[in-house]
Structure 1
């Protein structure tokens, strides 16, 4: 089975070996993809572990990736013919909002809990020892038993 894409790790190695002779940014519904030229063959830059083209929603982030990750600083072609902002096939994940809400609640609880612990540590009132607390509780327990009889 021949692959239709090249993943980033392979593309990086090919750039280092000067095997990539050019790059084009191609507009697609929902974003931008990168076509790499290998001699007379062109292949899309793909995602890890799949044979699907890698997509960027922003042209800036696509170019930043090429420059910073693959060290490709020259683009031969920018084709926006089929570019559109939205992608009908891409649906937002329904659980993302709920997941973020739970994460914010957890962070808020963690901050509150840490404040409570720090306030307890910083409390200037003298704390009592375990033995003293047990003795006080035993006295209260004895007093309650006497009243109950």
Structure 2
């Protein structure tokens, strides 16, 4: 496996690799140093493929040698494998994802809104329990709502719509 692919190797998805492991078809593995991380290349039959990242068609990169080696040992069940550091460049680590900041902002806003909403509900429940918020009957609600609709219809008619 010393002649492992250096540029854009063919890839295989993780599920297929697990199926090959269960069938005991993986013959060897190579942890291949890449700019910014480590790829894992498996050999089965006459094929040699790099493991793909989840939900993408790109080679999966582990940030450090230990995690890549642990994957080969624990997930592939291989105690012996090769390591090729020739192309490894730790300075090239650029794992920033442009969508991460936006996703984090949206998650934070959603959490803040959820906390606000829950506080509003709790405040209403507390008000009902201590009597500061009064309950209204269904008839009273329907009367108020009918008046509101009539008011809106008058405003719409007066605005010429």
Structure 1-normalised TM-score?
0.67
Q: Using a 3 Å threshold, how does the CA distance of structure 1 residues 97 and 53 change in structure 2: closer, same or farther?
A: closer
Give runs of aligned pairs for residues 1-149 of structure 1, distance below 5 A: 4-39=10-45, 41-47=47-53, 52-68=58-74, 70-87=75-92, 92-123=96-127, 124-125=130-131, 127-130=134-137, 131=140
Q: Using a 3 Å threshold, how does the CA distance of structure 1 residues 35 and 94 change in structure 2: closer, same or farther?
A: closer
User: Which structure would you say has the larger RCO, counting Cα contacts within 8 Å and 6 or more residues apart?
Assistant: 1
Structure 1 unaligned regions, length at least 5: 139-149
Aligned counterparts of 2:102 and 2:18: Cα–Cα separation in 1: 37
C-alpha contact (below 8 Å) 2:26/2:44 kept by paired residues: yes
Aligned counterparts of 1:26 and 1:92: Cα–Cα separation in 2: 21
- 1:42-68 Cα shifts (integer Å, max 9, x gaps): 332234676642222233432343345
Structure 2-normalised TM-score?
0.63
C-alpha contact (below 8 Å) 2:29/2:72 kept by paired residues: no
Aligned counterparts of 1:49 and 1:101: Cα–Cα separation in 2: 22
C-alpha contact (below 8 Å) 2:10/2:48 kept by paired residues: no
C-alpha contact (below 8 Å) 1:4/1:51 kept by paired residues: no
Q: Using a 3 Å threshold, how does the CA distance of structure 1 residues 4 and 129 change in structure 2: closer, same or farther?
A: closer
Aligned counterparts of 2:56 and 2:102: Cα–Cα separation in 1: 28
Question: What is the SS of the residue equivalent to 1:42?
Answer: strand
- Post-superposition offset of 1:121: 0.4
Over the residues paired in the alignment, what is the CA RMSD in angstroms?
3.2
Question: What is the SS of the residue equivalent to 1:24?
Answer: strand
Task: Provide the aligned length of Structure 1 versus Structure 2.
Answer: 131
Aligned counterparts of 2:99 and 2:15: Cα–Cα separation in 1: 31
Aligned counterparts of 1:109 and 1:49: Cα–Cα separation in 2: 30
